[in-house]
Structure 1
Amino acid sequence: MTKFGVIVFPGSNCDRDVAYVTRDLLLQPTRMVWHQETDIADLDVVIIPGGFSYGDYLRCGAIARFSPVMQQVVEHAQKGKFVLGICNGFQVLTEAGLLPGVLTRNRDLHFICDRVPLKVERTNLPWTQSYTTGEVITLPIAHGEGRFYADAATLAEIEDNGQVLFRYEGENPNGSLNNIAGICDRRGNVLGMMPHPERASDAMLGGNDGLRLFQGLLEKVAALV
Structure 2
Amino acid sequence: MANFLTTFFNPDVMARYLPDVLSGMLVAVWIGLAVVVAGVVLGLALACLRTYRFRIFDLLIICFADIFRALPPLVLILLLYFGLPGVGIRLSGPMVLFIVLSLTLAAFAEEIFWAGFLSVDRGQWEAGISTGLGFGRTLLYVALPQAVRLAIPPLVNRVLAITKMTALGSVIGVSEILSAATTAQSFSGSATPLTLAAIAYLVLFMPLVFAARLFERRRDQAQGR
Which TM-score band (shorter chain)?
Answer: under 0.3
- Give 1 or 2 for the bigger CA radius of gyration: 2
Structure (1/2) with the larger helix percentage = 2
Structure (1/2) with the larger strand percentage = 1
Calculate the TM-score normalised by the size of structure 1.
0.22
